[in-house]
Amino acid sequence: MIPDGTVIPDTPPPGESPPGAFSVLTQRADFLRAARAKRVPLPGFLLQARRRAPEEPAGTPIRVGFTCSKKVGNAVARNRAKRRLREIARAVLPVDGRPGWDYVLVGRAEATASLPFDQLKADLSRALRTLHR
């Protein structure tokens, strides 16, 4: 239990997101726009990215979406793959992502859940550098 008046460190004030935070894409239209934009295929996943237009609502600087089709496996396998994609996004996007961009990480059958976690992080970092050259 936290006594009244105690400030919890690393907690942003209400209404503000922490630095480097991103919001998650939920609207199908956002996923479709990203699918028509730039893509970087990698062994563990596919990265799709697009720069948002100035007239689109700003929200948080970086937005990201995660998807895995039934080709990845049953619900357990798809959820495991998406959990791994979320974690690499949390680790890499605040450092290498660009404000005003939408990113979609698409899981691959067998590979997303089985490749070493460090390799997935390195692949995402390399893909973002390639994309933003």
| Domain spans in the chain, listed from the N-terminal domain onward | 23-131
Distance CA 96, CA 11 (A): 23
Q: Tell me: the pLDDT tens digits for 72-83?
A: 999 999 999 999
What's the pTM value of the predicted model, to 2 decimals?
0.81
Checking DSSP bridges between strand 45-51 and strand 101-107, what pairing results, if any?
A: antiparallel
Residue 2: which pLDDT band, with cuts at 50, 70 and 90? Answer: low
Distance CA 28, CA 130 (A): 26
Distance CA 3, CA 6 (A): 6
Class level of CATH domain 23-131: alpha beta
